[in-house]
Structure 1
Amino acid sequence: MKPLDAQDSLRHLLNEWDPIGVADVVRDEYDCMIGPLLGRLARGAGRAEISEFLWFELEDHFGLDPASRGVDSMANRLVFWWASAVPS
């Protein structure tokens, strides 16, 4: 997958998840997570590491309570997406 395709696909997934509820108005709200997530996924991060990153970002960066935001489900989705999108 080309880097720009990966970024666009990941942006789409993050906007679908939309833990803040603003993606219909602000399409780049979660762009701050794209680079760090792609880096982790490219290094082979699993669900636990991705979940930990998402949890921290929601809590520390966005000021949200991650407990009710489906962090583990999103981490699973991202790991599956990466495994499906990137040839081994």
Structure 2
Amino acid sequence: MPSWTPSVENGLRHLLNEWDPIGVADDVRDEYDCMLDPLIQQLRAGADQTEIGEYLRHELADHFGLDPLGLRPEAMAARVTAWWAAAGAPTVPRPTPSRPLPRARTGRG
């Protein structure tokens, strides 16, 4: 079960329906719901505008079968990340990559 509120989901749904890359939001309000959970998870994990843009571009091409060129997924990613930041929605800090520990010296040359 998602840990975010219905208002977060509805806010993102509203943004996706405004963007409406396949032109059906006037008739079908849940067409883009398949992107809600993955986007919210990415945003909560701290994804930036570039990562969100890559996800949207991938979904447009692979899921919806559209050419993302004229649909401006990068501009939509900017809107989504700005909305997320303005909403004050929580992010889970990403773990920092750990560096390998130095090897212990054995006294052998």
The TM-score bracket by the shorter chain reads: over 0.9
Segments ≥4 residues shifted beyond 4 Å: none
Equivalent AA in structure 2 for residue 24 of structure 1: D
Percent sequence identity over matched residues? 55
Residue by residue, what CA displacement relative to the aligned partner does 1:15-38 show, whole Å, maximum 9, x if unpaired?
Answer: 000000000001000000000000
RMSD: 1.1
Alpha-carbon shift at residue 42 of structure 1 (Å):
0.6
Unaligned runs of 5+ in 2: 91-109
Which one has a bigger Cα radius of gyration? 2
Q: Distance in 2 between matches of 1:71 and 1:25?
A: 22
Q: Which letter does structure 1 place at the counterpart of 2:15?
A: L
Task: Output the TM-score relative to the length of structure 1.
Answer: 0.95
* Mapped pair 1:41 → 2:24: no
Call closer, same or farther: CA 1:75–1:61 in 2, change over 3 Å: same
Give, in whole Å, the separation in 2 of the partners of 1:16 and 1:87: 20
1:3 and 1:10 map into 2 onto residues whose CA distance is: 11
Q: Structure 1 CA distance, aligned partners of 2:78 and 2:31?
A: 21
Uncovered stretches (5+) of structure 1, i.e. residues with no partner:
none
Match in the other structure for 1:68: 70
